[in-house]
A = this chain, B = another copy of it.
């Protein structure tokens, strides 16, 4: 079989205003080790905010999701608008606060959140095509919401945070508590999720769950 092409939806470059860099990088590493081809993508649109990661304060700056995400991808990245499910065998969403602010407004709107239109389109296209989706950290609610709007009840984890888990349940999805090094598999919908930095105490613990997620997603894709 040819190398499975696995899409990675990024939202910037940094845990507080974009994609969580370590989660995205470990995903790229494990995809390469599993013999898959990563297809990085992001919306060509401004981030909702820019945060100074040294002081944790909002900065008076504007940054573009696609250009910042290109830092993680070493320039090899596509505008998500141009990506179709037919281009991919699987899709993975790393976390980082950008998933809840740039790729959706989950951070402010919770269960009633709206998704960035191409993110929603691609999630629905992938599911309709029977192709697997992986999501980590704060990204699983995006998958749950996009598919709940189509009447599909998914089974995901964001770890153990009660407030976030309740919002996921209110969407019409099932939330399953899960430790950082483990994954939750929704066999019927081919969705794999892991808490990553929602729970992980360090990079090695986050990598444990992400490695398992990548392997399951690739297994589904083959």
Interface string of A32-62 (1 = CB under 8 A from B): 1100000000000000000011111000000
Q: Is the CB of B13 within 8 A of A71?
A: yes
Does chain B have a CB within 8 A of A66?
Answer: yes
Query: How many copies make up the complex?
Result: 2
Q: Which of the listed residues A25, A67, A71, A77 has the most CB atoms from chain B within 10 Å of its own CB? A: A71
> With A and B bound together, what is the CA distance between A74 and B97 in angstroms?
12
B22 lies within 8 A of A74 (CB): yes
A54 to B44, CA, bound (A): 11
* Shortest Cβ gap from A97 to chain B (Å): 11
- Inter-chain CA distance A15–B33, complex, in Å, is 21
Question: Whole-angstrom distance between the alpha carbons of A53 and B77 in the complex?
Answer: 10
Q: Which residues of chain B have C-beta atoms less than 8 A from A202's C-beta?
A: 32
Rounded to whole angstroms, the CA-CA distance of A53 and B70 in the bound complex is: 5
Nearest B-chain residue to A205, judged by Cβ: B32
Contacts of A25 in B (CB 8 A): 21-22, 25-26, 203
B residues in contact with A14, CB < 8 Å: 13, 71
Chain B: CB-nearest residue to A71: B14
Seen from chain A, the residues whose Cβ lies within 8 Å of a Cβ on chain B are 13-16, 20-22, 25-26, 28-29, 32-33, 52-56, 66-68, 70-75, 77, 197, 202-204, 207
